[in-house]
Structures are given as structure tokens and as C-alpha cells.
Amino acid sequence: MDLDQRTILFVGGLKQQVPHMRRYVEEHNGSLSHHDGGMEDNMSRLAKLFGRADLVLFPVDCVSHAAQTEVKKLCRRWDKPYLPMPSASISVFKQALSALLAAGPAGTVQPIEAAWPTKGPSRDSRPGL
């Protein structure tokens, strides 16, 4: 995967994972900007990061609803592709990044369901349960 010098904006997540995500992005010819979703970073700083961002990712399990709403609003305003991730894990981050790159031209908003299944089979649908 080649990020072709794109800048990824990651909003929310676990602070201790950001260096690992940054290293992964840099190893694939990109750069990573991070905003914690308003925990310590001011929400007004979020809008300033959108000018440089090419793609936006955020984990729905580790960012406030207010930050999610603001990210979606800013993505529409700036015509930036984004993908809500089901969790803040590194493996999901890698999958989401691949899904966004495969989504097509800038401005394409890829629904999460198209990137990966959000749920496995229900307990009732598995044989023997």
C-alpha cells in the first residue's frame, strides 16, 4: 500500500497507540495528524487540521459523540473522505486505511458496512446455539 504522501487525520483513539499508527503511515509514504477528540486538544484546533488532511478516520468506541458529529460536519464542508472505525485497534486502523484508499477519488464517503462487517453472526444464528 502506498499512501502517495497523503495526510491522514486520526481523531480520538488511545493516545499510546498514536506513535504506532504514525510509524505505520510513515512506512507507507504518508503522514499522520492526530486530534484526541476534545479530551485535551481544543475542538477549535480540529478544524485547522482539516486543511492538510486527505483522509479522516475516527474510532466510534473511543471518541465523543460531539467530536464524531464535528468530524462528519467538517468532512462534508471540506469534501474529505472519512470512515468511522468500529474500534480503536491498530488492526482496524490498517483495515480502515486500506478501505478508504480503495474507495476511489477524494470526497467519496465510504460507509463502514462496505469496508468490513461490523458484526459477526448472532448467537442465535450459529448452529447448536
The pLDDT of residue 39 is 65
pTM check: above 0.85: no
pLDDT-derived band at 19 (thresholds 50, 70, 90) equals very high
SS3 for 29-41 is CCEEEEECCCCCC
pLDDT in tens, 41-92: 667 788 888 888 998 999 998 888 888 898 999 999 888 888 899 999 999 9
User: Closest Cα partner for 87 from 96, 99, 100?
Assistant: 96
CATH number for domain 7-125, candidates 3.10.450, 2.40.10, 3.40.50, 3.30.70: 3.40.50
Cα angle 6, 12, 15 (rounded to 5 degrees) comes to 95
pLDDT in tens, 82-125: 889 999 999 999 988 888 777 665 544 444 444 544 443 334 44
Whole-angstrom Cα distance, residue 58 to residue 92? 11
